Structure 1
Amino acid sequence: MKIIGVEIGGTKLQTTLADADTLESICSLREAIVPAKGAEGIRQQLEAMIHSLQSQHEVDAMGIGFGGPLDAKTGIITTSHQVTGWDQFPLAHWCRDQFDVPTVIRNDCDTAALAEATLGSGKGKQSSFYVTVGSGIGGGYVVDGQLIGTSRPAYGEIGHLRPGVLHSEAANTVEAESSGFGITEEVRHILQSTAAEDQGNDYWELMNCCDGSIEALTTQNIADAATNGNGIACAVLAEAVETLGWAIAQMITLMAPEVVVIGGGVSLMPEKLFLSPLRENVATYVFPPLAKSYEIVLAELGEAVVVQGALLLAKQSLEK
């Protein structure tokens, strides 16, 4: 039997045809997404790619990891934060009509969580919680090889915890402080509000790395500056990592996973800036009886993680 795994992201569209038993790839296709063409443009791309794969082999099932919130039970997309035209679109039904293939859809973070738990850093563990730390922060929980909470409107959304009782507004979240976007926005705010008399070496180092355009500042600029000891960058990153560590500690206290797998672009920072202080902060805030019951490790599967998870979704659908 043959299956297809699909990743629909904000910038790329990836598909892989694989053997259902071994998950060995037979053919993979990748295309850049043109956001200006909206969801309809992506569907046209996807239609051409899937039909190309079907021309080579009969396909028995398909899994999709979608970059945005959705209803996993119905296969209806809630929205996309990157591309217009996805609101309330019945993607699973559309795929079944277009390709005559049973289709399972999950959000990209849940899909990545399944892949890392089964094939990556969580392999061999009964329970694995995946945290992606990129432009946003998401979470997914896998127990005994199965995603947990897919029948609920949301589950494991660690980035949407409020970091303390004083954060009463819905926008005041862990994601707002600890994501790549949140880190960059905080440094930009500091630079914009720094008085002329306080514009020391740290200020000018950050301004120089973005050629004087604060809006052009990136998370990578900030990580590089922190590596060189920039005080502003180090302070913002330290606060961001502490908040994320607090959030992971709350999750461990409630859900007690054996392993916490960290992925996403922010996790690729030097260990001394991210992973080491993250582990220290989790240890500070976690429930003491659980203190030595978990591991915190980096993800292994890289850019293929969502497609790998989508293949697993397709395989699991054939086994039911």
Structure 2
Amino acid sequence: HTSYQVEGWTDFPLAEKLRRSTGIAAVVIENDADTGGLAEARFGAGVGCSPLLYLTIGSGIGGALIVEGQIYRGCGLGAVEIGHMEIPVRSQSGIRILQLEEVASGWGIAREARDEALGLSISSQERRKWVVLERSNNDPQAITAKHVAQAAIEGEERAEAILDRAREGVAFALRQAIAILAPGRIILGGGVSLIGEAHWFEPIRGLVDAGVFAPFRGSYDIVPAALGEQVVVHGALALAHDAVGSSS
């Protein structure tokens, strides 16, 4: 197995080491997005839907494609790394090309707000009165995506603009995914999706429908994840069940 988060884990035989240390024959290693997608396909909002596209939008952004109840793995290195898709993003200086994760993940939304705060003069009325900063005790480094979302829901313009860019980024990525994969259902999970129906799902659906390749319009639906914080646990149990079944 290879990890891009843990230094030195390139072709690291983690599953084999765990088998030897635990004595358990059926050991499965999987990433959290694929595991969550499998769970939603088998037990959650994606039951009976294939192909199913799943996005988890939290501190980062991961994706999974589930086909006939199984994780699609591409050529073997993994697939649907949608958080790394490059997207156009509006800014005061024009269009920037960023990765989706930089704009729409929890840390991406928070970073956009921190940059906004640091761009305001320390002595300015705007900075002193910006509600996002007030809620982070006037510390730009303490701003979170939750602060931004709360302010946007209340109608604060700067926060709304940041959240707009996040929604536009997700919608852009989904339009491309629909054109290539033609999923029957798209499930959005993760902490950022808890922003809710009115301020997350409805705007994203509208943006996707407005720009998607016309023949595919209406062929999919976009729904919230159903399994909450237990989604990866459900997926891990499904993987374990499959592994035990195949080894017996």
Q: Structure 1-normalised TM-score?
A: 0.70
Deviation of the 1:258 alpha carbon: 0.6
Equivalent position to 1:139, from 52, 56, 63: 63
Partner of 2:78, secondary structure, is coil
How many residue pairs align between the two structures?
Answer: 239
Mapped partners of 1:194, 1:296: distance in 2: 37
Q: Which runs of 4+ in 1 moved over 3 A?
A: 164-168, 195-199
Equivalent in the alignment of 1:21:
none
> What does residue range 243-254 of structure 1 map to in structure 2 within 5 Å?
243-254=169-180
CA positional deviation for 1:308: 1.0
> Is 1:278 aligned to 2:201, yes or no?
no
Q: Does the alignment pair 1:158 with 2:82?
A: yes
Gaps in structure 2 of 5+ consecutive residues: 90-94
Return the alpha-carbon distance in structure 1 between the equivalents of residues 96 and 179 of structure 2. 21
Deviations 1:224-253 (A, max 9, x none): 111111111001101110111110111011
Question: Is structure 2 residue 42 aligned with structure 1 residue 118?
Answer: yes
Give distance in 2, aligned partners of 1:86 and 1:123: 38
Change beyond 3 A, Cα 1:189–1:201: closer
Deviation at 1:149, TM superposition (A): 1.4
Deviation at 1:150, TM superposition (A): 5.6
Q: Percent identity?
A: 37
Preserved contact between residue 127 and residue 133 of structure 2 (Cα < 8 Å): no
Of residues 84, 90, 98 in structure 1, which corresponds to 2:21? 98
**Distance 1:136-1:124 versus aligned 2 partners, 3 A rule:** same
**What does residue 72 of structure 1 align with?**
none
Higher strand share: 1
Q: What's the CA shift for 1:164? A: 4.1
Preserved CA contact (<8 Å) 1:125 1:259: yes
RMSD: 2.1
Alignment-mate amino acid for residue 87 of structure 2: P
Q: Once the 2 structures are TM-superposed, how far is the Cα of residue 304 of structure 1 from its aligned partner?
A: 1.3
Alpha-carbon separation, structure 2, partners of 1:235 and 1:202: 19
Q: Quick one: structure 1 residues 104 and 240, their matched pair in 2 at CA, closer, same or farther if it must change by over 3 Å?
A: same
The 3 A distance-change label for structure 1 pair 280 and 199 is farther
Q: CA deviation at 1:207?
A: 1.7
- Cα deviation, residue 198, structure 1: 6.1
The yes-or-no answer on 1:87 pairing with 2:40 is: no
Over 3 Å counting, the alpha-carbon distance change for 1:319 and 1:130 in structure 2 is same
Distance 1:209 1:291 in 2: 40
- The Cα of 1:85 is off from its aligned counterpart by 6.0
Unaligned runs of 5+ in 1: 1-75
Q: Assess, with a 3 A threshold, how the Cα gap between structure 1 residues 167 and 221 changes in structure 2: closer, same or farther.
A: closer
> Of residues 210, 220, 226 in structure 1, which corresponds to 2:152?
226
Structure 1 residues 150 and 98, CA, compared in 2 at 3 Å: closer, same or farther? Answer: farther
Asked if the contact 1:202/1:231 (under 8 Å) is kept, the reply is no
